[in-house]
Amino acid sequence: MRTDPACVPCFLRGAIETARLLELPNADTQRFVCEAGSLAARHDPMCSPPMLGQQIQRCLRTFAGSDPYAAIKEASNALAWRLLPGVAASVASSQDRFEAALRYSIAGNCIDFGKGHGIGEPEVLATLERLAAIRLDPVLVGRVRRLCEHARRIVFLADNAGEVIFDRLLLERLPAGRVTVIVRGGPVINDATMADAVQARIADFARVITSGSDAPGTVVTDLTRPAWEAIAEADLVIAKGQG
């Protein structure tokens, strides 16, 4: 996927919203937004959105430190752990536990600060309660179930901190010994890194490796050899968010 010129305004809006979310000083905000705008204006038309996002996020770190979203990720993980017992109980009491786990893994994406806005506990609770009354398309769920059951090797590209804790509910229902979870290789927005995977105890259910990249997505040319081999050899890749 290439970065269309129509993507540029979105990147700029994201830069402004990020600066506000992180409460950067006005002078740093102006410099960051100007530099982000310059990167967006000069981007290689062949580059993908994650590649441009990677450049902008590296620029952000010169103003906001090596892991600007560290506190937000910590709060997201803490929030998810607080909510997990109730969600797990809901899954356990469902007639179709796989469907419920899949639904809540999707719902976990509401803990997302990547677009520059914060989502608090009331909003997350409201979203989870709303989703509890919704059932996914049974035909699609059946197809996903069969793909998971028959796959010899499954790669799960993790998305955000916090969200990855809800992913536990799905991962524990995938075939044991067949799943590799890939997290980001370095801090970028609120994406899950190895530290978040450890906090979520994902290794209880799957092998965990990093992509080797600090791009907010999967940039093939950045992948480590283990990550590339895992994806190349997989029968099924579950790519969450913009994975």
Instruction: Decide: 191 and 161 in contact? Cβ < 8 Å.
Output: yes
- Is residue 58 a contact partner of residue 16, using CB atoms and an 8 Å limit? no
Residue intervals in the chain for CATH 3.40.50.10880: 70-239
Helix ranges (H only) for the chain are 8-21, 26-41, 49-64, 70-92, 97-107, 121-132, 138-150, 163-171, 194-199, 225-233
User: Model confidence at 4, in pLDDT bands (50, 70, 90)?
Assistant: confident
What pTM value is reported for the model?
Answer: 0.92
> In this structure, are residues 158 and 167 in contact, taking their beta carbons and an 8 Å threshold?
yes
Q: How far, in Å, CA of 118 to CA of 234, rounded?
A: 35
CATH superfamily of 70-239: Uncharacterised protein PF01937, DUF89, domain 3 (3.40.50.10880)
Strand partners, 154: 179, 236
Q: Dmax over Cα atoms in the chain, in whole Å?
A: 55
Each residue of 77-105: pLDDT tens digit? 998 999 999 999 999 999 999 999 999 99
pLDDT, tens digit (0-9, with 9 covering 90-100), for 47-73: 888 999 999 999 999 999 999 999 999
